Amino acid sequence: MNPLLLIIISFLLGSLPFGVIIAKAKGVNLKKVGSGNIGATNVLRTLGKWPAVLTLLGDILKGAAAVAVGRYLSVGPVYEGIMGLFAILGHNFSLFLGFRGGKGVATSLGVLFIYSPQVGLFTLIIWLVVVLMTRYSSLGAVVSFGLLPMNILLFDHTKGKLIISIVITALLLLRHAGNISRLMKGTERKIGERA
């Protein structure tokens, strides 16, 4: 299959705004409530647990699906990673939302669960530990993905994966710049705080 077509498919998969779709089904414009973010954390704050769970699963699955398509077509680890990156970019800059979107945490986890399952599991565990200790979803994301390149170095020596992991980390940290600033100021909202 044409490599450009695979990239386009990955971007379109990532662009599917599950949080927006689920909120719209409940009569809510997710971009105008809470933080305005399209991810599961804002859905949890504004719509509750089950809509947030559905959003989380949808966002994970689209990242996983992009890499799984590459794996099925035997494109190799570097190109699988590129497809995963474009799924994350699709989430962050959704075609269906005027090239605006979320921060890419769940979609990045979905990519990792197929791309490097052991490292994906470690990343999830680190995120959970930090969130359980602090109740800051953003801090969990920053710490767990900040450690991603090191975990790839330690547990997955497949050629090319370190570069892909560095780009994933860079994308996530850039999207969390505002959160990092609020964490440093002590104004970041914790999980469970209503918007």
pLDDT tens per residue across span 54-102:
999 999 999 999 999 999 999 999 999 999 999 999 999 999 999 999 9
Residues 6+ apart with CB under 8 A from 49: none
What are the start-end ranges of the H helices in the chain?
3-15, 18-25, 40-47, 49-72, 77-92, 105-115, 117-134, 137-146, 148-155, 161-175, 177-185
DSSP string covering 132-189: HHH--HHHHHHHHHHTHHHHHHHH---TTHHHHHHHHHHHHHHHTHHHHHHHHHT-PP
Asked whether residue 1 carries a pLDDT value surpassing 80, the answer given is no
Q: pLDDT for 32-56, tens place per residue?
A: 998 888 999 899 989 999 999 999 9
Given the structure tokens 């990532």, which residue do they identify?
14
| φ/ψ (deg, to 5) at 26 | -100, 10
How far apart are alpha carbons 80 and 96 in whole angstroms? Answer: 24
The reported pLDDT for the residue numbered 195 is 55
Max CA-CA distance within the chain? 49
* Mean pLDDT calculated for residue range 148-155: 97
Residues 6+ apart with CB under 8 A from 72: none
Q: pLDDT for 103-125, tens place per residue?
A: 999 999 999 999 999 999 999 99
The reported pLDDT for the residue numbered 73 is 96
The reported pLDDT for the residue numbered 194 is 62
Answer whether 176's CB lies under 8 Å from 159's CB. no
Share of the chain above pLDDT 90, in %: 88
Given the structure tokens 């992991």, which residue do they identify?
165
